[in-house]
Structure 1
């Protein structure tokens, strides 16, 4: 291969084709190659005006480049000015408004309400009385029909309004029912005492709410939420709560203990993630152990001594009496010997 570059030879009468400019507006075929009277203008630098250009030419998902042009046929004549050197420039802030879809015409402005309304002529001085003057509708262009302007009475409007309010109440009840069935919660359990006993092992709704009233204040002030599978001492003391209300978290924990539902089923019922259900169970386990473990389980010794029966006078240090019941069962004297006689020999 030769390292010398051969110089291109060009004849005197040979023309050199330069790249032509094209208009980017849809349905516009103007090109600088065939039309020298039309000027082509690049997009403005101002972001607001550029967005207005894209909206007007209906190219929302279009990113113009430095070579993108809009021809002058889409601008008003007053928007294009000719400089002293013969170049065509756009006025500052000019926006394209003439297109194929509006037949290259500016949209006509709608007349005002005052112009659209028909008004009566001024009354003449020789009119008989003001009552004989023609009654004119108010100055608006709304259509006054017989259904809304004449026959519609106050009673009909009241009935329609009441029917709409009734429909709204029905839809609200339907939405509440759908929300209640979509997510498991305390509202679904508290409907009957049987559900409370099955899911929580509390005797009734009354006892469950009494227990909640005792622990509610501690839940809001002293609960340390576990953010991982670690113990409470290793977790942070301040953490964000879950999207479930605290009473629903207690219900989830009690269902885990009493019914023995797996975490996957609990997460599906309460519309939470499986790891969130696991953290709720761990959090409430440590919380109730700390809260209920500090309560006294045994009666004070002085109270026990004050109520000891006379039979325990010789045992003043008695604290608790553990009872044991014996149940006698009849068994065979020699069960192994009986089995050996009944079983066939093994060979």
Structure 2
């Protein structure tokens, strides 16, 4: 910063290479008033930027000893307004120093002497000399120090730009590590890892489908997108509630309520959209080549899978009559279209349940039409029940799927079922007790039943798990 002396008529300025020092007005009120009086400018008062150059002091610098003649500026002659040549300035400064020492000696001779000052005077002199303000240190520095300070000042802009770049890089790093909509938008791998969906476009489509039904959920801590992301992470990675609470900065109770609310919304909104039984014409139109010759009337490929429960189920899904209640597993029947998408998922039945009982109790048989062909990778003991609906049942080893198609059918079902369970780890169990019990008194479906259906619906939004081509 360039300083100009405030004395009227003095043109001295602080510039690079100058030998002058510039002093701000003292903080001490009495001394400051004496400086103002010495400057003698009518109605003028100094501000924080006001400076007085060293040419107005006898010794060429201010002295903080009240007994010194340079305690207050006193040189205001015309010849001091403009600095002369360097040699003349040096001679004048030496003369000022000698005059100041002489005046100080005379003052001491007129008093009690340099070694006979009173304790109060010594205390005042010591305190005055020891109370140098930090703000004056730069004013009393040498010209080299002033040049160095000027150089540092000139580099402040570069330093500020570097700090701004560093701040921006840190912001981008934090944003990239956070679980927010913007951090997932351009990172398909991150979307796939946390949600199981192939990219952000599919995730955004699911969000648009569910958003109108989420208005009733009042959650000040989590946005709609965060509620969906939290639920998908629960299904996808099977994270514990406490883990999710730490990740999203909420309480465990908020996590539990959010998961239950979102599962109910997705079960009523997403599942009917993504998991449905196609018409016979649609099935035949898109029948894969592997089954087009051997099983042109194939409507569905079925299989059963079980999920262990974490503890005894209090109510809701009860085991079938005559089964052992100690067998704490949930049984599900899943139907896969030849095209590789899930078209049917039963509710869970607790206990040792035969595939026949499971098929008859879950409503699967009602989907079949006369002439339909139901395939399975293994014997599920449902042929009689299927025949009663006018359809036919065959296994991969049976006559309905001869030759190479038999191996394709078996691998097809196993890949689809394993893909759904691998994509959403929560389906591998064990099922927590709150999820295994009935979600509503009027419904036989538990929250976990809805989770299984939601996982199948989300899987259908991805690329076909195992197309029969």
Task: Name the TM-score, length of structure 2 as normaliser.
Answer: 0.31
Question: Counting helix residues as a fraction of each chain, which structure ranks higher?
Answer: 2
Question: Counting strand residues as a fraction of each chain, which structure ranks higher?
Answer: 2
Of the two structures, which has the highest relative contact order with CA contacts closer than 8 Å and spacing of 6 or more?
A: 2
